[in-house]
Amino acid sequence: MTPPQLSFNGDPTGPAYEGWREQFCRQVMGTDFVPIGDGPVHRTITPAILPRIRLSASFGTPMSFVSMGTNDELVVVMSPNSALSGAMGRRALNVAAGDLTIGDPSIKGARVTQTAYGNFQTALLPRKALLRACPNAEDLIARPIDGLKPIASMFLRYYDLAHAHAAGLGASELDAVSQHLFDLSVLMIGARGDAAEEARTRGLAAARLEALKSDILAQLDSPALSLSDLAAAHRISPRTIQLLFERAGITYSGFVLEQRLLRAERLLRNPAMRTRKIIEIAHLAGFHDVSYFHRAFRRRFGQTPDDVRRLADDPG
């Protein structure tokens, strides 16, 4: 069986587009892709299948996405760089770029239009499970959700992490990521009571920790990386960050040190870095006290940085 063509680039008036539109868009996605305006169509689609949740991130020219009415899930819809318009049955839909909304693909003809060139992202959520946690979820269909609210920002960030790394995760990891993303969804939509408390304890904490780790890794080589600045950037207290790491079985400072040591070890083994001095490697890994770097490295790996480099140069 030939796998479906996920993307299209070309003339939307010929048989190639109509074939893609029928075989992939309508039959696989359950959605008709209707071009907006004149000229070629460009649409790149990257799906990610998680347990219970399906993610789809696409990019391209303006497009209307029209439901075939064959899907009973609810969908979170967003675009970081294009306004969205359309209708869910009798409800008009108008969402600013960067905001989110809930769509109902069970409504045949329900339409969301990406009005400008850019991204269009969706997360299909199981309707019954969502309504158990958020009984009012269907009342919020087509209403905008402010993308700048902290919980919405957290959902968007974790969505990007889940979508980017899903292909490399094992079954148990995918299950955990799926649950965390669902928890963030119900908190963003408005879960209350026990459902909200469970989601906060499980999903929000995990998403915050992953976002913190991502920021730390992006700043490892910076002498300005600090607990207080990280806390200010994430709008939480330094103690909250420490507790998030401790509940995961490691301290904040322990995580930073381990990641810097691992980066240094990778750099020392990299043939392209062979001409760089040990002090330069230390700085690139975020160590600005070279004596401390040598002590910590030997304690972690049982070898000096010079030993590791020498063994990498002479594997025999």
The tokens for 152 are 């919405």
- Which stretch of 103-112, 122-131, 191-200 has the lowest confidence by average pLDDT? 191-200
CATH fold of 8-218 reads Jelly Rolls (2.60.120)
At 218, is the pLDDT very low, low, confident or very high (cuts 50, 70, 90)?
confident
51 has a pLDDT exceeding 90 = no
Give the model's pLDDT for residue 111: 96
Write the pLDDT tens digit of every residue in 97-112.
999 999 999 999 999 9
Mean pLDDT of the chain: 88
pLDDT of 216 strictly over 70: yes
**DSSP characters over 60-123:** ES-EEEEE-S---SEEEEE-SSS-EEEEETTEEEEE-TT-EEEE-TTSTT-EEEE-SSEEEEEE
Which tens digits make up the pLDDT trace of 229-287?
A: 888 888 889 998 888 888 778 899 999 999 999 999 999 989 889 889 999 999 999 99
Do residues 79 and 37 make contact, with C-beta atoms less than 8 angstroms apart?
no
When pLDDT is cut at 50, 70 and 90, the band that residue 199 belongs to is: low
Confidence of residue 16 (pLDDT cuts 50, 70, 90): very high
How high is the pLDDT of residue 208? 80
The token pair at 51 is: 């347990």
What's the pLDDT score for residue 296? 93
Q: Which residue has the higher pLDDT, 275 or 196?
A: 275
Per-residue tokens: 312: 């990498």
Domain residues of the chain, as ranges?
8-218
What does pTM read for this prediction?
0.69
Q: Check pLDDT > 60 for residue 2.
A: no
